[in-house]
Amino acid sequence: MLLVGPPGAGKSMLAQRFASLLPAMTADEALASAAVASLVGRFYPARYGVRPFAAPHHTASAVALVGGGSPPKPGEISLAHHGVLFLDEFPEFSRASLEALREPLETGLIRIARAAHQAEFPAQFQLIAAMNPCPCGFLGHPTKACRDTPDQVSRYQGKLSGPLLDRIDLHINVQAVPPEQLLNTKSGEQHDQGEDSHVIQQRVEAAHQLAMSRQGSANNLLIGELLNTHMQLAHDAKAFVQQAATKLQWSARRMHRVMRVARTIADLEHSPQVASVHVAEAVQYQRVLGVGH
């Protein structure tokens, strides 16, 4: 997920809460996460079975982020295995670090090849990336003016390559919270009137169980023929996807991602079939960055 919004919109808070929305860890997942953490002395018994949350700073080296060294050690992406990797100020990470994320985002693994050593570490994480829409942060802000030239905005957003953005399922605009809304809540903490994390977590768990009982895996692992078999795309939804793909010039990779997101939205609503309304919502989560792509 890529969160785009001005400073103070609550992007970090959302990212930190995210791990608590995920389904409970299975025993295999808990063991795998603990094994990776123990390789670098970061396993604590009290954290066993709790989804890991890693939030490396944007100045972290590519080796610290994805792993490496001699002998090779896992990086933050592997320490976030079966958990959440939060990358704030996403475009500020080095080009090398950003491009190195492409392989694990695709395969859930990172291969480290040095002359003397080869290693492979698991890196199946939920990526939450956050960024301002422009260098000053206020592009599209309802009350504050952006000080950047279109060129500066384009250069800033352009640090994220098309192929990298193609691997991120959900692109979301996070709006600034109006001051009056902040004042109406206790001690400045933001409360969404509706639901607490626990209620949402149960909904996530139910959707995950639906996917598991249908195809024995989570929706993000649906590829090729499996995707066609389990999409159960309504007739008009199929036409809708094809139109959107042509109009927005999606790569095949992006189109498949949109389909998996639509399948998940349908699962959240306990709908066996993926209807055009689910596809339309999935399309809405593509590309909120306007320039340079």
Binding stretches for Zn ion (CB under 5 A)? 134, 136, 139, 146, 148
* Helix pair angle (224-231, 252-268), 10° resolution: 40
> DSSP 3-state assignment of 67?
strand
As measured in angstroms, the least distance from the Cβ of 170 to Zn ion is 23
Closest CA to 215 of 179, 267, 173: 267
In the complex with Zn ion, the residue whose CB is nearer, 5 or 83, is 5
In the complex with Zn ion, the residue whose CB is nearer, 73 or 155, is 155
Distance CA 51, CA 29 (A): 9
Contacts 24+ apart (CB under 8 A), 235-243: 236/275, 236/276, 237/262, 237/274, 237/275, 237/276, 237/278, 237/279, 240/276, 240/279, 240/280, 241/279
In the complex with Zn ion, the residue whose CB is nearer, 134 or 265, is 134
Distance CA 213, CA 95 (A): 40
As measured in angstroms, the least distance from the Cβ of 136 to Zn ion is 3
**Do the Cβ atoms of 127 and 105 come closer than 8 Å?**
yes
As measured in angstroms, the least distance from the Cβ of 173 to Zn ion is 15
272 secondary structure, DSSP code? S
In the complex with Zn ion, the residue whose CB is nearer, 68 or 91, is 91
As measured in angstroms, the least distance from the Cβ of 144 to Zn ion is 9
As measured in angstroms, the least distance from the Cβ of 159 to Zn ion is 15
In the complex with Zn ion, the residue whose CB is nearer, 52 or 137, is 137
Distance CA 119, CA 210 (A): 35
